[in-house]
Amino acid sequence: MCCADTVKTYNAALHRRSFQSSVWSQAHHYASANWANDGNLATHITGDEGFQCSVSNEQPNPWWAVDLDQPKPVYAVILTNRGDCCGMYFKSLDTVTLQSANETGIQCDPHYRGDNIETI
């Protein structure tokens, strides 16, 4: 009998500090970056308790980032699009994993496309 190696995975971004290029707001409510990794899997921008999704303003090259606090292996990136509208905004995605960001610059792992990104 042969056993394959398995990798135990988890959501390394859950409740970590997150940032985005801009924050969309409506009536003094803000769709800030932390709504993207709070564990709520709802896909509509608003719900009974306010915002449920992270939303940036319409702009060229918007971005969202999460600080994993320490180096961690990244096996997959799963992105969930809004379910209420605006699916066209996920038409072109790149993910970049940063090894570090400091005074001397940013060290990047390769861009990941295709098999490494799952969009829902």
The model's pLDDT over 93-120, given as tens digits with 9 standing for 90+, comes to: 777 766 655 544 444 455 444 444 444 4
| β-sheet bridge partners, residue 107 | 100
Residue 114 phi, psi (nearest 5): 65, -110
Mean residue pLDDT of the chain comes to 74
Confidence (pLDDT) at 86: 76
What pLDDT was estimated at residue 14?
A: 94
| 47 or 64: which leads in pLDDT | 64
Is the pLDDT at 48 greater than 90? The verdict is no
Of residues 36 and 26, more confidently modeled: 36
In the prediction, which pLDDT does 38 show? 92
